[in-house]
Structure 1
Amino acid sequence: MSGDSDPPGAGEQRREQRLGPVVRRREQVTPGTADQRLLDTRGPSDWVHGDPWRVLRIQSEFVEGFGALAELGPAVCVFGSARTRPGAPEYELSRRIGRGLAEAGFAVITGGGPGAMEAANRGASESGGVSVGLGIELPFEQGLNEYVDIGINFRYFFVRKTMFVKYAQGFLVLPGGFGTLDELFEALTLVQTKKVTRFPIVLVGSAYWGGLVDWLRDTVVAEGKAAPVDSDLFHVTDDPEEAIALVTKP
């Protein structure tokens, strides 16, 4: 027997698989090759639900969003409740704001849904402005409203949030629920931490927002959880013209 023969198990120890930059050895080697899995339609399909594939989906959402909105021009986001009924005072207020923003030369970006979002898109569309809806995949979502001119549906909230902040120069926030509050505090945090430069945030509806503003001042700031200057990160008004002026001024 040759002295150069491999010891038992040596072949198994050297078993190695290279998948692009990834190296797998021993028990971590997966059967087949990438080409084989791509071309073999009878193979397992679990891989489409794995994290590496999700990364590509996330990347594609950023690419689609950037591509669709890159040439949008000046824009303002309008947030508010999807449950606001057509004809209600808040609906007409949002519609008036959308119209005013369009007349001032700004595109209107909303979450693309019904309620206050639809109203802002409607106002912009009726005035000949650009009406944008950035929707989100939800089990109960009704889809983009009919007044959206440019619409994108996202799978991931964080990609959608990036588009809101990147392509708007400010937020107008009407009465709304958890989704509206989420966008509001996202914007406040980015401004507070200076992750974005000048970014006006205007709350429309003093009766609705008054309790939150009081709590921020009398509890959050009073207990030192935020600085007194943080109260200046947003404005509150009941006047749609003032709201538009605050969010669009140079």
Structure 2
Amino acid sequence: MSAEADIPGSKNPKFRGPIMLRRDRKIGVGTTDQHLLDERGPADWVHTDPWRVLRIQAEFVEGFGALAEVPRAVAVFGSARTTPDSPEYQAGVAIGGALARSGFAVITGGGPGAMEAANRGASEAGGYSIGLGIELPFEQHLNEWVDLGINFRYFFARKTMFVKYAQAFVCLPGGFGTLDELFEALTLVQTHKINQFPIILFGTKYWAGLVDWLRDSLLGSAKIAPGDLNLLHVTDSVDEVLSLVLAAAEQRAEMDAAGTMGDQW
């Protein structure tokens, strides 16, 4: 006799699709088809975790499908609170335009402020202007300069699109959202999850405190390696932004031709 035969309930497992439950574990009432075809009952099932998995899957499918044929692109981040009359807004317009004229699509979070500026610069230069929006508790619409827009429910699905379809990140002065994208990219490059991915901080005065803290606190206490600081480029020059992006794109093309790039996803 097998050891399993001595375990109560082991001979009478219950199944729901690929899920098996033994002993007195609960599986619910009825079959999956019954729940699908029975239109009666409460609607709160659409808020359960299994259903959310399908929504998450749908966001990835929609995003991949919409962006699959987009030309090489650069993601530009920055504060939604940046005003149109500010130097930061004008820098965003200039960066978006310079990237578009060099054949890069521009991807932003699709909102106002610095994001709008980069989208506007790309659109006015005749380039491909993309906005990846996010559902928020407060009202926010894709800005009018977006040519291709996608609205996401989930931050992690949206962030995957930025990393997968952009060849560089440019961070204009911004808040928590910009910092989130910045450190996500830094972590992925540091751990070699993505290759040849310049991360550019635009605005030396704005980013100086953060860079000093990274050097003095993180590197100073050996929490990061000396070379990790070289993953960041800080500049006030639109021309330098473009130069860094073009150099990385050229190196990426050489690696692709040599077959050494690998599959990042």
**TM-score (normalizing by structure 1):** 0.91
Tell whether the 8 Å contact from 1:77 to 1:109 is kept in structure 2 after alignment.
yes
Looking at structure 2, the residues matched to 133 and 151 of structure 1 have their Cα atoms a distance apart, in angstroms, of 5
**Paired AA for residue 103 in structure 1:** R
Aligned partner of residue 149 in structure 2, secondary structure? strand
Cα-to-partner distance string for 1:191-211 (whole Å, 9 max, x where unaligned): 111111110011100000011
Per-residue displacement from partner, 1:212-246 (whole Å, max 9, x unpaired)?
11111111101111111111001111011111211
Work out the CA distance in 2 between the residues paired with 1:213 and 1:120. 24
Aligned-residue RMSD, C-alpha: 1.8
Q: Which of 119, 122, 125 is matched with 1:121 structurally?
A: 119
Letter of the 2:112 partner, please give it: P
1:248: how far off? 2.5
Distance 1:16 1:225, change over 3 A: closer
CA distance in 2, matches of 1:246, 1:13: 62
Corresponding residue for 1:49?
47
- 1:37 deviation in Å? 1.9
- Higher radius of gyration, 1 or 2: 1
SS state at 1:189 partner: helix
- In structure 2, the partner of 1:20 is 17
Tell me, yes or no, if the aligned pair for 1:37 and 1:43 is still in contact at 8 Å.
Answer: no
Aligned 8 A contact 1:201 1:247 in 2 = no
Per-residue displacement from partner, 1:44-75 (whole Å, max 9, x unpaired)?
32221111111111111111111010110110
Would the aligned equivalents of 1:108 and 1:132 in 2 still touch at CA under 8 Å? yes
Say if 2:171 is the partner of 1:177: no
**2:193 maps to which of 195, 198, 201:** 195
Aligned pairs (5 A) from 1:16-165:
17-24=14-21, 26=24, 28-165=26-163
CA distance in 2, matches of 1:158, 1:199: 19
Give the aligned length.
240
* Counterpart Cα distance in 1 of 2:244 and 2:25: 62
SS of the equivalent of 1:220 reads: helix
1:202–1:243: 8 Å Cα contact kept in structure 2? yes
- Asked whether the 8 Å contact 1:172–1:247 carries over to 2, the reply is no
Identity of aligned residues (%): 67
Q: How far apart, in 1, do the equivalents of 2:220 and 2:12 lie?
A: 64
Matched position secondary structure for 1:28 = coil
TM-score (norm 2): 0.86
- Looking at structure 2, the residues matched to 193 and 39 of structure 1 have their Cα atoms a distance apart, in angstroms, of 47
| Partner SS for 2:117 | helix
